[in-house]
């Protein structure tokens, strides 16, 4: 008999009843160190007082009105994002997937309005993840996501990751856009080197193709800059954001330049919930913290400590681990043992990590992680490694 929850997830036998900062508590009082943060969502940890206040204050006044009316919280969050980024304009969604949908529509409409409606080819990369809608799975092209769901939305060309020659050959004056994660998340924490992102920007400038960055996982302070592309000193034309921006409240956004957004006029797109007062009140509170240079300095400091510790851990347990990779507090450990075994041993030692492709375990802790908690994380991961070795 089919379970009452559609069985598309294989869930760990863990149930949490409370969150406090970097910690998750079970009903029987066990405390887990949360290095997953709901897959890079709880950027300020669990139950951050500023977010609780923003949400409850808003909840006492007004939950929802629809986008038929002005929403001051949405205006404030859009203004703040425009102030801190390349973007001239923002559309709010409820998820990363919806941000992907709009990004694809925006690209197509851009070329349509330029009088080039057949210019629809969007280049994407192996190992990418952009969400689970029909457009987003077509963008990724990964067999495990698309199999059985055809016919797929046309217009995507998939290239190997990290192959500049293949890229140069594929990008032509027919290319509508290049869509890429500056750091692949689901694909196994694969960092696009700064010079490759710069080269992508140059290619787009040469051909007129739009550069679309998916910063759903790597954005909002995760890599130690507000957005990951800032490390390369370039700017995209369009950017997808979600996960961390709501700190746990469902919120996403598409940021764009005035030029790239030129086709999106009244009536061309919409959302019932996107940008509603609750989500945007929380988003403003998240931005207050994450856009603060002192906060980002903390992220970089703690990330350096964690990375250094992990390098030592990997060196000490070569039978379990292979290498550390990533950027800021978006770290991956490529495992020699099956990554699922390492994640499970983590549960046994009350530390939460997230599996990814390429036999990687991801560490995506709250950005508020403390130096003490870094030590705690390393100690628990070490116990997990010892357990995997003994098994």
The number of beta carbons lying within 10 Å of the beta carbon of residue 157 is 15
70 is an annotated ligand-binding site residue:
no
129 is an annotated ligand-binding site residue:
yes
Compare residues 121 and 181 and give the one whose CB is closer to ligand PLP: 181
H/E element, 384 = helix 371-390
CA distance 324 to 127: 18
Q: Sketch the per residue contact string, 75 through 114, with ligand PLP: x for CB under 6 A, - otherwise.
A: --------------------xxx--x--------------
Does position 181 interact with ligand PLP (CB under 6 A)? The reply is yes
H/E element, 44 = none
Smallest separation (angstroms) from ligand PLP to the CB of 93: 9
Smallest separation (angstroms) from ligand PLP to the CB of 371: 27
Q: Sketch the per residue contact string, 201 through 230, with ligand PLP: x for CB under 6 A, - otherwise.
A: -------------x-xx-------------
SS3 content of the chain, % helix, strand, coil (to 5): 40, 20, 40
Query: DSSP secondary structure string, 61-100?
Result: H-S---TTS--HHHHHHHHHHHHHSS-SEEEEESSHHHHH
Query: Tokens representing 285?
Result: 């509170």
Does position 156 interact with ligand PLP (CB under 6 A)? The reply is no
Does position 237 interact with ligand PLP (CB under 6 A)? The reply is no
Smallest separation (angstroms) from ligand PLP to the CB of 240: 6
Does position 129 interact with ligand PLP (CB under 6 A)? The reply is yes
20 is an annotated ligand-binding site residue:
no
Taking CB under 6 A as the criterion, the residue among 239, 242, 281, 384 binding ligand PLP is: 242
The number of beta carbons lying within 10 Å of the beta carbon of residue 316 is 12
- For the four alpha carbons of 269, 247, 179 and 149, in that order, the dihedral sign comes to negative
Residues of this chain that interact with ligand PLP (CB under 6 A) are 95-97, 100, 129-131, 181, 185-186, 214, 216-217, 242-243
């Amino acid at each position: 008999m089919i379970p009452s929850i559609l069985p598309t997830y294989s869930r760990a036998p863990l149930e949490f009843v409370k969150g406090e900062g970097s910690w998750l508590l079970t009903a029987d009082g066990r405390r887990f160190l949360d290095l997953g943060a709901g897959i890079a969502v709880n950027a300020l940890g669990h139950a951050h007082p500023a977010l609780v206040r923003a949400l409850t204050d808003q909840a006492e006044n007004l939950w929802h009105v629809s986008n038929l009316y002005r929403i001051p919280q949405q205006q404030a969050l859009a203004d703040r994002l425009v102030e801190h980024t390349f973007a001239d304009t923002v559309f709010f969604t409820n998820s990363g997937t919806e941000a992907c949908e709009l990004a694809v529509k925006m690209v197509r409409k851009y070329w349509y309005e330029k009088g080039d409606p057949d210019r629809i080819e969007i280049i994407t990369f192996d190992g990418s993840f952009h969400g689970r809608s029909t457009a987003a799975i077509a963008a990724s092209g990964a067999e495990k996501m698309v199999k059985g769901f055809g016919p797929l939305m046309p217009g995507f060309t998939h290239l190997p990751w990290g192959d500049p020659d293949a890229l140069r050959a594929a990008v032509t004056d027919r290319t509508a856009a290049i869509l890429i994660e500056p750091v692949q998340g689901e694909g196994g924490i694969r960092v696009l080197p700064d010079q490759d992102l710069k080269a992508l920007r140059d290619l787009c400038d040469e051909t007129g193709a739009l550069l679309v960055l998916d910063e759903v996982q790597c954005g909002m302070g995760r890599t130690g800059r507000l957005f990951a592309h800032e490390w390369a000193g370039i700017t995209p034309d369009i950017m997808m954001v979600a996960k961390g921006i709501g700190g746990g409240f469902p919120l996403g956004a598409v940021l764009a330049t005035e030029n790239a957004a030129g086709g999106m006029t009244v009536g061309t797109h919409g959302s019932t919930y996107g940008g509603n007062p609750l989500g945007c009140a929380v988003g403003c509170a998240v931005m207050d913290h994450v856009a603060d240079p002192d906060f980002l300095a903390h992220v970089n400091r703690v990330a350096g400590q964690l990375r250094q510790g992990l390098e030592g851990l990997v060196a000490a347990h070569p039978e379990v681990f292979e290498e550390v990779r990533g950027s800021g507090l978006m770290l991956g450990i490529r495992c020699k043992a099956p990554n699922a075994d390492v994640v499970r041993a983590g549960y046994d030692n009350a530390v939460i990590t997230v599996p990814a492709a390429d036999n990687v375990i991801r560490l995506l802790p709250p950005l508020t992680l403390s130096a003490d908690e870094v030590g705690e994380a390393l100690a628990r991961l070490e116990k997990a490694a010892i357990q995997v070795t003994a098994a």
